Structure 1
Amino acid sequence: MTNLSRARLIAILVPNLLLWGAIGSQYIGHLVPCEMCMWQRWPHVAAIVLALIAIALRTQPSASRAFTLLAALAILVSGGIGVYHAGVEYHWWTGPERCTGSHFTSLADLMKAPVVMCDVPQWKLAGISLAGFNAIFSILGGLATLFYASRKGIR
């Protein structure tokens, strides 16, 4: 398997696993996603589309590499949003006013707020929220894709 083939494989698997894991936690695990959770999904959708284009262009290595690198960047964007969201959940910094509980000045503001707040994780494992896991796996997957896509050579 070539380095570019490895990169394409990672670029299609990582966002699919993370996106379908999020959808599964929503529909099977009954966890309702907050607004920032949804933000993390869109770059994964973009990465999947870009990786599919890269796979379709596998007979044209330069074009395939370019789309694989774009997919890696999209995966990293989701990881960056995951870092931001996890930081909001751990109260390291404040999040958007419309989805955190710290900025309500009236009952009317509270009534307009979404049901699921962005600064309250619904699920954790070993102290890591779903946003934290998305950050970890997206960043590692994006970096691995960049590593293999940028390496020249057959093996």
Structure 2
Amino acid sequence: MSNLLKSVARAVKAIALMVLIMACAFNLMSGAAWASAAKVLIAEKQGKPVFEPATVTIKSGDYVEWSNNLTAGTACNVVFDQVKFNRYPTPADENQIADSELFSYLSHQELLNNPKESFRKDFNVPAGEYTYVCEPYENAGVTGKVVVQSN
């Protein structure tokens, strides 16, 4: 009986190792292992929301995650500056988004109402500086920037 238990334990370990290897291989093939993240906290300072850090720098293809750390009852969103997207009417290659569509693609117009609520946005966009605001507090200067560098 003892030999049977040892054989079962070895088989379980071997299966677990195979599953781990397959998961790592899938991440490498899908590119998920190469994407990096920048995290932006929507915090409160002097009675108004702020983006911390106010500027993040990433590579094209990376993502940014915004997380709400405001008290209940204070809401914020992330809306990119539409004026900046009128430079180039068409994308440089088929995999990029035309500037006329970037505003809608990047912006998260729904308010983050609940503490710890978050969202993530992939920046498969051309290199450049992308500024954004929290619309309810735009007049108070609540702004941020994502600097995207080419790969």
Based on CA coordinates, which of the two structures has the bigger radius of gyration? 2
Higher RCO, Cα 8 Å, sep 6+: 1
Which structure shows the bigger proportion of residues in helix conformation? 1
Which structure shows the bigger proportion of residues in strand conformation? 2
Superposed pair shares fold, TM > 0.5: no
TM-score, normalised with respect to structure 2: 0.29
